[in-house]
Amino acid sequence: MDIRAALNRRREALKLLAMYDDVPPNGGWPILMEASSHYGVDVEGIEINGQVLPIDPKVFKSSRYRGAIFDSGSTFVSLIDDAYVPFARNVKSALSHLVPVSDLEGDLCYESSTRAGL
């Protein structure tokens, strides 16, 4: 299976991560709280390769300008800068064995012919 993912850094405070048909390893999904066409999710933290990222849990608390929001019709996840910066740094480190893709628009773009690569 070919997978492409790109982290896109925009001018706004929100950052985006493209995710493609991933299923949680435990088969469970987070409980979503509906708010029009998107959902606010209570995030406790982010972990990459078994390591919890150094992100202040306060940035995930839902409010008008903070929190984690999942759009029900999209594969994108929005993170504010306080969460995105350490997340992007750790993704770059975790995927350092891959060659970045330059034809995708984003900060960190990678392509792999197997899920194991990503």
Give the max Cα distance, the chain. Answer: 40
Which band of pLDDT confidence, cut at 50, 70 and 90, is reported for residue 44?
A: confident
Q: Which residues contact 25 (CB under 8 A, 6 or more apart)?
A: none
pTM: 0.56
Give me the phi and psi of 22, to 5 degrees please.
Answer: -95, 145
Q: Is 16 exposed, middle or buried (0-12, 13-18, 19+ CB in 10 A)?
A: buried
Reported as a single tens digit per residue, the pLDDT across 47-68 is 887 888 898 888 877 777 666 6
Q: Which of 36, 35, 53 is nearest to 44 (CA)?
A: 53
Residue where the block lists tokens 């740094």? 89
